[in-house]
Structure 1
Amino acid sequence: MWPAGGRHLWPSGGTSAAQSHPRGHLVYAASGVLAVHTERGTSIVPANRAAWTPAGFTHYHRAHGDTDMRIVFLTPSLARLVPDRPAVFLASGLAREVLLALTGPRNYDDAAPGYGRAARSRLLRVLVDELREAHEQPLHLPEPRDDRLRAIARMLYETPADNATLAELGRTIGASTRTLSRLFRDELGMTFYEWRTQLRVHHALVLLADGHDTIRTATACGWANPSSFIAAFSEIIGTTPGRYRTGRRTTAQASRPPGAQAEDDPTAGG
């Protein structure tokens, strides 16, 4: 890993070791989809999003689809300007270009002229300013701590298409609907149905990265029909599944080195 992060190419399913860093860092997927796991929960990083992990948080990354991962570390003075907890931000066009520039060949290719310290500082400040102006994205799925919620989470992680009600799940684990509803609000800051919808959208992003179409993805994630899936997906991601897949391919093509062939694009045809 380069001192300021860098570019890391991961095969689909590739997983890093659990680790923590003395500086917080941003990760961006120029292609593919990343999952960033911390003790606080899981962040999904699709195209045009950037995930922030503060200093000292134990975490690991997992690639869904062949993934071009970019990492940028922030100095403590810049890290103070962003949240002190894991978060996902919408990456504007400018933020994306800065992320690619800070992790491009000029940072690790001896034959290419590199950015000086002053230039890198300016680019990092622009990046942080762009993220501060962006809206946080509801793509961080908090991890339950209570044993009863953890049992429900395990069941739904394994079968996200399960449409059991909270009362039915409660009977399975021996807890009342009222107790579980209170725990979801107090511990996770959302209702059970909001949490399950986010979990399903996370799963949908992974399936779309693996090349599944909208209909198969909707069914696998528990939606009764494609239109309800499209509506829920669009509300959280900001675009339809079809447009998201097209945009993901476009992003991957834009980040391809000059002269590379289309067939080298791991998302081509997806």
Structure 2
Amino acid sequence: MPVRRQARPDAGATSLTWPSGGRHLWPSGGGSGAQAHARGHLVYAARGVLVLHTESGTSIVPANRVAWTPAGSTHRHRAHGETDMRIVFLSPSLARLLPGRPAVFRVSGLAREVLLALTGPRGGGHDDEDGAGAGVDGGDGGGAVPGYGRAASGRLLRVLVEELREADEQPLHLPHPRDDRLRAIEQILTRTPDDTTTLAGLGRQVGASARTLSRLLRDELGMTFYEWRTLVRVHHALVLLAEGHDATYTAHACGWANPSGFIAAFTDLVGTTPGRYRAGG
């Protein structure tokens, strides 16, 4: 897969980039075009919600999660709510300690502070000549973070990676199925998350039995239809909450008959209630 230079950010974004990482302030609805980098990188939403699309699936990155994208993976970002995106690039030696596929991790308090330190005011980062410095460097990636010496930068990055290695991967990565029938159902669920049609009913629309679809879901995604649809709905719920909608509206818009069922499912996947999530807790 060719590694392309980072696309210029959305015209509404404010960007500060340097070889080791950067910061993008996105307006709601802003985002990047398809891009790939020579080094793997972490993205963190200090505010707002990021949706990260890769060839293997879609990840939701709320403020208590960090997403990992390996080197060479084509991806694009989209912001929901006013979003403060932080990005940290890793050297190959550190990248090897993380999965060889896109992943989402819960952010510990220490990891969060390290991410903010590496990308915050002390960084004093600078725009490079074309505003795309974060994606251009194809070398080792071991340079110092602006504002920190090489040794201090290395220590901070190692602490960050060790914290992520200790963290559990989070079920906020929604894998894309390969089978055309499942892809058709994915489009239906994504377009209308409040659709309550059974798997058998959806199967009639795409020309497959519920049994066949269940087997495909198990083989391709490792989950049941209920688990898959719940994950799709929670993805949509995170976006609606970031855009300012309350839990009651979000519950009904995402297919739950009552808010209590939504709150339970949301809390199970995200680790906090919708109310606390909206409040930034």
TM-score (norm 1): 0.89
Q: Deviations over 1:148-202 (max 9, x none)?
A: 0010001111100000000000001111111111111111111111011001000
Paired with 2:228 and 2:116, the residues of 1 have a C-alpha distance of: 32
Separation (CA, whole Å) in 1 of partners of 2:83 and 2:277: 16
Q: Return the offset for 1:48.
A: 1.4
Cα displacement (A) at 1:109: 4.8
Give 2:39's aligned amino acid.
Answer: R
Cα offsets for 1:56-114 (capped at 9, x unmatched): 1100000001100000011110011111111100001110000001111222357xx81
* Residues in 2 aligned to 1:107 and 1:247: alpha-carbon distance in whole angstroms: 24
Contact 1:2 1:108 in 2 (8 A): no
Alpha-carbon contact 2:22-2:125 (below 8 Å) kept: no
Letter in 1 for 2:88: V
Output aligned runs, 1:178-217, within 5 Å. 178-217=211-250
Please list every run of 5 or more consecutive structure 2 residues that lacks an aligned counterpart in the other structure.
1-16, 127-145
**1:240 corresponds to 2:256:** no
Paired residues, number: 246
The answer to whether the Cα contact below 8 Å between 1:35 and 1:42 also exists between their aligned partners in 2 is yes
- Partners of 2:21 and 2:202 lie apart in 1 by 43
1:244 deviation in Å? Answer: 1.0
Q: Indicate whether 1:120 and 2:153 are aligned.
A: yes
Question: SS at 1:47's partner residue?
Answer: coil
Match of 2:170 among 117, 128, 137: 137
Does structure 1 retain, via aligned residues, the 8 Å contact 2:38–2:71?
yes
The one-letter code matched in structure 1 to 2:274 is: P
Q: Measure how far apart 1:242 and its partner are.
A: 0.4
1:57-206 mapped onto 2 (5 Å cutoff): 57-109=73-125, 114-206=147-239
1:21 aligned residue? 37
Q: Which amino acid aligns with 1:8?
A: H
Residue 178 of structure 1 aligns to a residue whose secondary structure is helix
SS in 1 for 2:99: coil
Give the Cα–Cα distance (whole angstroms) in 2 for the partners of residues 48 and 129 of structure 1.
17
Residue of structure 2 in register with 1:44 after alignment = 60
Separation in 2 of the partners of 1:60 and 1:109? 23
**Take 1:24 and 1:41, find their aligned partners in 2: how far apart are those partners?**
17
2:48 match: 32
| SS at structure 2 position matched to 1:136 | coil
Does the 8 A contact of 1:42 with 1:141 survive in 2?
A: yes
> Aligned runs of 1:249-264 on 2, under 5 Å?
none
Q: Contact (CA 8 Å) 1:34, 1:45: kept in 2 or not?
A: yes
Contact 1:6–1:107 (Cα < 8 Å) also in 2: no
Q: Secondary structure of 1:114's match? A: coil
CA distance in 2, matches of 1:70, 1:63: 12
Check the 8 A contact 2:18/2:125 in 1, yes or no: no
Whole-Å Cα distance in 2 between the matches of residues 128 and 195 of structure 1? 29
How many angstroms apart in 2 are the aligned matches of 1:173 and 1:90? 36
